[in-house]
Structure 1
Amino acid sequence: MASFFIVSKGVSPGTSAALSSLFFIGIILGRVISGFLSTHVSSKNLIRYGGIVGCVGLVILVMPIPYWIAAGALFIVGLGGAPIYPSIVHATPERFGEKASPSVIGLEMASAYTGSTLIPLGMGLIASQWGMSMVPLILLILFSVMFVATELVNRSNKATRLTV
């Protein structure tokens, strides 16, 4: 996101790097907070609330706003994204059954690593073609698709069970 601040917001490289760290601070604080909340809030709701908070942060980031507000929005995105992956993994036995859980968790982890490898490449290609201002918009689309997909699974009436 440092490149986004440099190109789209006109911020110096040093300041951009410092502002980008707010995303990671948001993840750290979000993981700590969601860890405490996990004793009282279900994984399904942690995913839901994280998705809502992350989408709000990305909507703010997409707007034509000053860089210091965008930095706050980046913190909000990290805060919202923090509980999602751990909660998805935690909910796996409930959603897919104890027997299938190890295989499904392996697929979840492989998917996460594949995404963390390919999404920066895709973002770089998109940014080189259409500009850095498209990056938050694409992230908002991806975050929204994830949110809608998890809500569809949450609202499914039949339990998803795999047999291995």
Structure 2
Amino acid sequence: MSGGRHSSAQRAFPWVAAGRVLFTLALLGCIVFIFSNSMKIGEVSQGSSGRVLALLQGVLRRLGHPALAQRLTDHIVRKLAHFCEYTLEGFLLMLCMRVYTRNYIWHISVPLLGGVLTALVDETIQIYSPGRSSQVTDVWLDSAGVLAGILAALVLMALCGLLFHHCNKE
């Protein structure tokens, strides 16, 4: 009987190993992206935000929301960018936790702490980037993004679990 369990684990291992590599590389790429944005000088960062602002305003106008497009500001775009970057990081942190341990729910504080530490380092990098500033409120916003990403990953994992459990019953 244990031979059957062993061979099942052996069959699953390549998928687990692939998941570990994939999610770890994606997470590292996300963190490098976040830090590289913080290393940009203020003028370059402002230009990037301005291009995204113009794009979003154009989309809103095409969708028939010119007043909303007018209210969208560079400040809002920058804060949304922070939140979205860290939502992705939280999502990837939780997926990494899932492929490295079976008891990922008990270890939810690890991805949360990892995200907060990334936010702290990110804001510290901005202190040394010309034309940039560091803000405690951004650490809070980034941490909220990490939490949103973790929750999104948990919901996705629960749905996948229900789907695969249902498929295995049939």
Q: What TM-score, normalized to structure 1?
A: 0.31
Larger helix percent: 2
Q: What TM-score, normalized to structure 2?
A: 0.30
